[in-house]
Amino acid sequence: MTRLTPTAAQTVGPFYSYGLLTKEDCVVAGPTALGRHIKLVGKLINRDGNLCRDALIEIWQADAAGLYNGRDADADPAVKGFGRTLTDENGSFEFQTVLPGACPGSGNSWQAPHFAVGLFAGGLTRRVVTRIYTPDSPELEEDEVLTQLGKEAAKTLIGRWVSENTLEFDIRLAGEGATAFLQD
Protein backbone atom coordinates (compact mmCIF):
# COMPACT_ATOMS: atom_id res chain seq x y z
CA MET A 1 0.00 0.00 0.00
CA THR A 2 1.34 3.43 -0.91
CA ARG A 3 1.90 5.57 2.11
CA LEU A 4 2.16 9.27 1.31
CA THR A 5 3.57 11.84 3.69
CA PRO A 6 1.04 14.54 4.53
CA THR A 7 1.68 18.02 3.17
CA ALA A 8 3.46 20.38 5.58
CA ALA A 9 1.45 23.17 7.17
CA GLN A 10 2.35 26.87 7.00
CA THR A 11 1.01 29.82 8.96
CA VAL A 12 -2.36 31.28 7.97
CA GLY A 13 -0.65 34.69 7.95
CA PRO A 14 -2.26 38.06 8.63
CA PHE A 15 -4.44 38.42 5.54
CA TYR A 16 -6.90 35.54 5.68
CA SER A 17 -10.50 35.79 4.79
CA TYR A 18 -11.12 38.84 2.71
CA GLY A 19 -14.14 37.45 0.89
CA LEU A 20 -13.75 33.89 2.13
CA LEU A 21 -15.39 34.20 5.53
CA THR A 22 -19.09 35.05 5.88
CA LYS A 23 -21.10 36.19 8.91
CA GLU A 24 -23.02 32.90 8.92
CA ASP A 25 -19.81 30.90 9.32
CA CYS A 26 -20.05 31.35 13.12
CA VAL A 27 -23.58 29.91 13.20
CA VAL A 28 -23.11 26.22 13.96
CA ALA A 29 -26.75 25.35 14.59
CA GLY A 30 -29.84 26.94 13.04
CA PRO A 31 -32.91 28.17 14.95
CA THR A 32 -34.78 24.88 14.46
CA ALA A 33 -31.99 22.73 15.93
CA LEU A 34 -32.99 20.50 18.82
CA GLY A 35 -31.41 21.05 22.22
CA ARG A 36 -30.20 23.93 24.36
CA HIS A 37 -29.22 26.94 22.27
CA ILE A 38 -26.09 28.62 23.56
CA LYS A 39 -23.37 31.08 22.71
CA LEU A 40 -19.79 29.89 22.94
CA VAL A 41 -17.58 32.91 23.57
CA GLY A 42 -13.98 33.58 24.51
CA LYS A 43 -10.74 35.40 23.89
CA LEU A 44 -7.39 34.42 22.48
CA ILE A 45 -4.42 35.45 24.64
CA ASN A 46 -0.75 35.07 23.74
CA ARG A 47 2.40 34.55 25.83
CA ASP A 48 2.74 38.30 26.53
CA GLY A 49 -0.82 38.40 27.85
CA ASN A 50 -1.96 40.32 24.79
CA LEU A 51 -5.29 39.72 23.07
CA CYS A 52 -4.86 38.43 19.51
CA ARG A 53 -6.99 39.79 16.69
CA ASP A 54 -7.52 38.19 13.25
CA ALA A 55 -6.92 34.63 14.44
CA LEU A 56 -9.04 31.97 12.73
CA ILE A 57 -10.91 29.81 15.25
CA GLU A 58 -12.94 26.82 14.15
CA ILE A 59 -15.10 24.36 16.05
CA TRP A 60 -16.56 20.97 15.21
CA GLN A 61 -19.18 19.34 17.38
CA ALA A 62 -21.96 16.79 17.67
CA ASP A 63 -25.67 17.66 17.81
CA ALA A 64 -27.70 17.55 21.04
CA ALA A 65 -27.96 13.76 20.74
CA GLY A 66 -24.19 13.32 20.33
CA LEU A 67 -24.45 12.59 16.58
CA TYR A 68 -22.19 14.08 13.92
CA ASN A 69 -23.46 15.67 10.72
CA GLY A 70 -22.21 13.70 7.70
CA ARG A 71 -21.22 10.69 9.80
CA ASP A 72 -24.38 9.66 11.60
CA ALA A 73 -27.48 9.15 9.46
CA ASP A 74 -29.85 10.35 12.21
CA ALA A 75 -27.93 13.54 12.99
CA ASP A 76 -30.03 16.71 13.33
CA PRO A 77 -29.97 18.38 9.87
CA ALA A 78 -30.26 21.80 11.52
CA VAL A 79 -26.86 21.31 13.18
CA LYS A 80 -24.04 21.96 10.74
CA GLY A 81 -21.62 21.02 13.48
CA PHE A 82 -18.94 23.24 12.03
CA GLY A 83 -18.25 26.91 12.59
CA ARG A 84 -15.39 29.31 12.03
CA THR A 85 -14.74 32.93 12.81
CA LEU A 86 -11.98 35.48 13.16
CA THR A 87 -11.18 37.01 16.53
CA ASP A 88 -12.17 40.69 16.53
CA GLU A 89 -10.05 43.71 17.52
CA ASN A 90 -10.48 42.70 21.18
CA GLY A 91 -9.29 39.15 20.54
CA SER A 92 -12.84 37.85 21.08
CA PHE A 93 -14.74 35.12 19.28
CA GLU A 94 -18.37 34.00 19.42
CA PHE A 95 -20.30 31.04 18.03
CA GLN A 96 -24.05 30.44 18.02
CA THR A 97 -24.80 26.79 18.54
CA VAL A 98 -26.48 24.12 20.64
CA LEU A 99 -24.93 22.21 23.49
CA PRO A 100 -23.59 18.93 22.05
CA GLY A 101 -24.58 15.61 23.60
CA ALA A 102 -22.18 12.99 24.95
CA CYS A 103 -20.84 10.70 22.22
CA PRO A 104 -19.24 7.25 22.29
CA GLY A 105 -15.57 6.85 23.12
CA SER A 106 -13.65 3.60 22.91
CA GLY A 107 -15.14 0.38 24.29
CA ASN A 108 -18.25 1.17 26.32
CA SER A 109 -17.02 4.56 27.47
CA TRP A 110 -18.56 7.92 26.72
CA GLN A 111 -16.93 11.19 25.82
CA ALA A 112 -18.32 14.13 27.73
CA PRO A 113 -19.99 16.79 25.54
CA HIS A 114 -17.24 18.78 23.89
CA PHE A 115 -16.28 21.09 21.06
CA ALA A 116 -13.17 20.28 19.04
CA VAL A 117 -11.24 23.52 18.48
CA GLY A 118 -8.78 24.36 15.73
CA LEU A 119 -6.78 27.55 15.90
CA PHE A 120 -4.77 29.33 13.18
CA ALA A 121 -3.01 32.71 13.51
CA GLY A 122 -0.07 34.74 12.31
CA GLY A 123 2.90 33.54 14.37
CA LEU A 124 1.41 30.04 14.62
CA THR A 125 3.32 27.84 12.19
CA ARG A 126 0.56 25.22 12.06
CA ARG A 127 -2.84 24.41 13.50
CA VAL A 128 -3.18 24.17 17.27
CA VAL A 129 -6.01 22.00 18.59
CA THR A 130 -7.79 21.55 21.87
CA ARG A 131 -11.27 20.75 23.18
CA ILE A 132 -13.81 22.73 25.18
CA TYR A 133 -15.94 20.88 27.75
CA THR A 134 -18.78 22.12 29.97
CA PRO A 135 -18.36 22.15 33.76
CA ASP A 136 -21.54 20.26 34.56
CA SER A 137 -21.41 17.09 32.41
CA PRO A 138 -21.74 13.78 34.28
CA GLU A 139 -19.40 12.11 31.74
CA LEU A 140 -16.37 14.28 32.61
CA GLU A 141 -14.99 11.57 34.92
CA GLU A 142 -14.95 8.86 32.26
CA ASP A 143 -13.89 10.99 29.28
CA GLU A 144 -10.68 9.40 27.97
CA VAL A 145 -9.08 12.56 26.64
CA LEU A 146 -9.49 14.32 29.99
CA THR A 147 -8.30 11.22 31.87
CA GLN A 148 -5.19 10.98 29.71
CA LEU A 149 -4.43 14.66 30.22
CA GLY A 150 -4.53 14.36 34.01
CA LYS A 151 -6.41 16.54 36.52
CA GLU A 152 -4.43 19.79 36.24
CA ALA A 153 -4.33 19.92 32.45
CA ALA A 154 -7.93 18.72 32.16
CA LYS A 155 -9.10 21.69 34.25
CA THR A 156 -7.90 24.08 31.55
CA LEU A 157 -10.31 22.48 29.04
CA ILE A 158 -13.46 23.24 31.03
CA GLY A 159 -15.43 26.32 30.04
CA ARG A 160 -17.59 28.29 32.45
CA TRP A 161 -21.18 29.42 32.29
CA VAL A 162 -21.22 33.22 32.48
CA SER A 163 -24.96 33.38 31.92
CA GLU A 164 -27.63 30.74 31.57
CA ASN A 165 -26.85 30.22 27.90
CA THR A 166 -23.35 31.59 27.44
CA LEU A 167 -20.35 29.31 27.81
CA GLU A 168 -17.04 31.15 28.06
CA PHE A 169 -13.63 29.71 27.26
CA ASP A 170 -10.48 31.79 26.94
CA ILE A 171 -7.63 30.23 24.99
CA ARG A 172 -4.25 31.02 26.59
CA LEU A 173 -1.49 29.98 24.24
CA ALA A 174 1.33 30.14 26.76
CA GLY A 175 2.45 31.48 30.13
CA GLU A 176 0.47 31.56 33.38
CA GLY A 177 -2.61 29.34 33.20
CA ALA A 178 -1.88 28.19 29.64
CA THR A 179 -4.52 26.01 28.00
CA ALA A 180 -3.61 22.35 27.48
CA PHE A 181 -3.40 21.54 23.78
CA LEU A 182 -3.58 18.19 22.02
CA GLN A 183 -1.29 16.87 19.30
CA ASP A 184 -2.81 17.65 15.95
Partner 1 sequence: MDNDRIFEPFEDGLVQPPYRSEKYASTGRMAPDNVHPIAPRTATELSGPIFARSADEDRNLVSGKGGQAIGSLMRLKVRVLDEDARPQPGSFIEIWQANAAGKYQHPQDQRDAPIDPNFRSWGRGVVDANGEIDFITIRPGAYPVPNSGGWWRPPHIHLSAYGSTFLSHIITQLYFPGDPLNEIDGIFQGIPDPVARERLVLKPDADSGIPEAALGFRFDLVLRGRSQTPLEN
Of 59-98, binders to partner 1 (CB under 8 A) are 60-62, 68-72, 80-82
Judged by DSSP in three states, 165 sits in coil
In whole angstroms, give the CA distance from residue 62 to residue 103: 8
Segment contacting partner 1 (CB under 8 A): 35-43, 107-115, 132-140, 158-166? Answer: 107-115
Judged by DSSP in three states, 149 sits in helix
Q: Can you give the length of the chain in residues?
A: 184
DSSP code at position 126:
S
Shortest distance, position 96 Cβ to partner 1, whole Å: 16
Torsion of CA 102, 142, 136, 25, to 10 degrees: -40
Q: Is 31 in the site for partner 1 (CB under 8 A)?
A: no
Shortest distance, position 11 Cβ to Fe ion, whole Å: 9
- Binds partner 1 by CB under 8 A, chosen from 35, 145, 166, 168: 145
- Binds Fe ion by CB under 5 A, chosen from 13, 49, 104, 177: 13
In whole angstroms, give the CA distance from residue 98 to residue 40: 9
Q: Is 5 in the site for partner 1 (CB under 8 A)?
A: yes
Shortest distance, position 128 Cβ to Fe ion, whole Å: 19
Segment contacting partner 1 (CB under 8 A): 31-39, 90-98, 100-108, 159-167? Answer: 100-108
In whole angstroms, give the CA distance from residue 86 to residue 94: 9
